[in-house]
Structure 1
Amino acid sequence: MSAQEQTSPNGWRVFHATGHAPAVPPRLPEPPPWRRFRGGPAQPAPPDDPEAAERRLGPREITPLLGQDEIDAVNAALLLRRPLLVTGPPGVGKSTLAYLISRELGLGRVLEWNIVSRTSLRDGLYVHDNMGRAQAIAAWQAGLRAAAADVNPDPESRERQLPPALGDFITLGPLGTALLPYDRPRVLLVDELDKSDIDLPNDLLHVLENGSYDVPELVRDAADTASVHTSDPGGRVDVDNGRVECREFPVVVITSNGEREFPAAFRRRCLPLEMRTPTREQLVAMVEGHLGTRPAGTDDLVDLFVQQVQAGGTHSLDQLLNAVQMTTAGGFQAHGDGRKLVEMLLRDLAKGR
């Protein structure tokens, strides 16, 4: 047993997969020297989003869907400040892990970056509204011409003669927002990275290693500081000299359905975590956690779901929740006339219908 574990009741493990929101967020272990960053100034704590967490996790404390090995992998990623590369079959709850970590550690709103084949690194870092800025500049120039022709100008028109600020047309993406200098790490969900263009994992390497990035438009701008939008609703932040660097490396949860292999250099910077289909007992507990009750017929539907998963194919936990929710509808019977509907809800998703 290490000296740290002897002096602390929980040692280096701060995450236990309970889904319980703490009254006082736990203190995270200190990062290793090579994962310390110097970004600043410190930003205010991010907003919370309990509604989104409740949709993902349910309103109550949950039975962990992770074993001790998986829980240790999460804690290792928290200690080492490294991304988690979470693999497993579709619908097993990979993306839900980000919300579980955020709720249990009190890290605020989860930033979601949903990946498609057209996604580029810049999409995650920031977006520059070129068209909006061009239109604003044209309107500003028209106002200047109108003011020059006015022999009795309105004093307030002088304020309108200022050019539109560049920062008003820049919005930091989920990755860019997660790398802002917060005192406690943000949680970033990079969902389905295996659907990306082949170059995106390699493009991520520099950002994941250095915890920083530049916004070239702001670097070239004459102003030293620009106020830009963030991915949080109504959020704004000042960026100095076009550069963003984190203070605490974000908790990055990268999910993959195993549709492709990632480069070795990318995998070296991540800690792997494979999620498996929950046990029957975990499925029943999950249903109770989301619905707050255990409707009649739940056990039969869970058994049917387990049988179909064991028979092969692709199934999602959402399908089970949908089927159980139907049993609470007035007059619905899972047997007889309702059996066909249940079969449709629990169908094999790999068959494309």
Structure 2
Amino acid sequence: MTAQEQTAPDGWRVFHGTGSAPATPPDLPQPPPWRRFRGGPARPVPSADAEAASRRLGPGHITPQLGSEEIDVVNAALLLRRPLLITGPPGVGKSTLAYLISRELGLGRVLEWNIVSRTALRDGLYAHDAMGRAQAIAAWRAGLGQASALEPAEAAPAEGVNSALSSRDRQLPPVLGDFITLGPLGTALLPYDRPRVLLVDELDKSDIDLPNDLLHVLENGSYEVPELVRDAADTARVHTSDPGEHAEVRDGRVECREFPVVVITSNGEREFPAAFRRRCLPLEMRTPTREQLLAMVEGHLGVRPEGTEDLVDVFVQRVQSGGTHSLDQLLNAVQMTTAGGFQADGDGRKLVEMLLRDLAKGR
């Protein structure tokens, strides 16, 4: 970021809520001294998952503008290298914001960590397939035993023929790193040269201890894999959450180079500890306005079909009357009414009513 850009009225902002993919990813502001990390060596960020982003955001030709307050909070989180804690009713686009940030800033594939009541911190950091490793070691030892049984018969092999002994010498034991897979959080904290985007979805559904367990990792940007710390090898090549990708872990410790863009969503079903909230920047997302809803529909479908305004008006009216509704319902209703031959009156009207039903009623 140039000095001229920094002195402009909005020069400190790198995110503008347009959702448009840049030709060249913008430079991010330097982190404050207390949020600088020294992980290495630097790794390039994997390419974006265009299909996943398109499912969340649409093709990207038309995207709704966030409010200036929301944009400022996102930029503050980027500048301060702090997680965003996003609250709001279901279906208002909380998790979609992670994809919006990633697309606009060119930060590659979004890492998703979906939280349930049984989720523990280790699930997000890494998984160790101990059973698979034990089976691989047993198979390796069995292979050694079979090779040893063949040795007497192969005592004098013909010239140019490999002996069982030399074959056994070339057979290496299973490597521990082959059975370690870094989770979404663990992958996001690898030393990438640009920050990864991590979506921690519905943290309020977690066990009561998980937010507190996250504090150390979010503060220090690092963690250890105990199995690798105890291993004799100094370096291990492990799997990551990105399909087909691997990473080198030295001395069993992972530390980020650029703190990831952490987007934590909550439906407001519980209060988080003060120590956890202190480390996050809060962002409350409200139900989109009529104009924003129309833009979202057009962004996903590429066009604004006839009758969209009427469906949006019905949707807004039901939300304002206190119902629980999701943007997915509106998109489904618009898509149905544009299907060839579908009539939105008579029996078709009943189907539209079903698609726009109040989710709080359980049916």
Per-residue deviation, residues 67-93 of structure 1 (Å, max 9, x unmatched)? 100000000000000000000000000
1:246 to 240, 256, 269: 256
Q: Distance in 1 between matches of 2:67 and 2:291?
A: 13
Q: What is the TM-score when the length of structure 1 is the normalising length?
A: 0.97
Aligned to 1:89: 89
Q: For 1:233-292, what per-residue CA distance to the aligned partner results, in whole angstroms no more than 9, with x for missing partners?
A: 001011000000000000000000000000000000000000000110110111111001
What's 1:187 paired with?
A: 197
Shift of 1:47: 2.5
Deviation at 1:139, TM superposition (A): 0.2
Higher alpha-carbon deviation: 89-98 or 7-16? 7-16
* Alpha-carbon distance change, 274 to 226 in structure 1, aligned in 2, over 3 angstroms: same
Residue number in structure 2 paired with 1:62: 62
User: How many angstroms apart in 2 are the aligned matches of 1:99 and 1:120?
Assistant: 24
Paired residue secondary structure (2:311): helix
CA distance in 1, matches of 2:193, 2:12: 19
Equivalent residue for 2:158?
none
**Higher Cα radius of gyration:** 2
What's the CA shift for 1:314?
Answer: 0.9
Match of residue 214, structure 1, among 201, 218, 224: 224
Please give the secondary structure, in 1, of the residue aligned with 2:219. Answer: helix
Contact 2:31 2:80 in 1 (8 A): yes
Alpha-carbon separation, structure 2, partners of 1:86 and 1:305? 23
- How far residue 44 of structure 1 moved from its aligned partner, in angstroms, is 2.4
Give % identity. Answer: 84
Q: Which residue of 2 aligns with 1:115?
A: 115
- Distance apart, 1:313 and its partner CA: 2.1
Tell me the TM-score normalised to structure 2 length: 0.94
- Displacement of 1:331: 1.0
* Aligned residue number for residue 284 of structure 1: 294
Q: Measure the CA separation in 1 of the matches of 2:232 and 2:8.
A: 51
Equivalent residue for 1:28? 28
Q: Deviation at 1:156?
A: 3.7
Residue in structure 1 matching 2:349, options 336, 339, 352: 339
Q: Secondary structure at the match of 2:322?
A: coil
Which portions of structure 1, spanning 4 or more consecutive aligned residues, are displaced by more than 6 angstroms? none
Q: Is 1:50 equivalent to 2:50 in the alignment?
A: yes
| Aligned 8 A contact 1:88 1:257 in 2 | yes
Secondary structure of the corresponding residue to residue 282 of structure 2: strand
Q: Does 1:314 align with 2:324?
A: yes
Tell me the number of residue pairs that the alignment of Structure 1 and Structure 2 aligns: 350
Kept in 2: contact 1:184–1:248 (CA 8 A): yes
Is this contact kept in 2: 1:181–1:246, CA < 8 A?
A: yes
> CA RMSD for the aligned pairs?
1.3
Q: Does 1:131 align with 2:141?
A: no
> 1:4 touches 1:12 (CA, 8 Å); kept in 2?
no
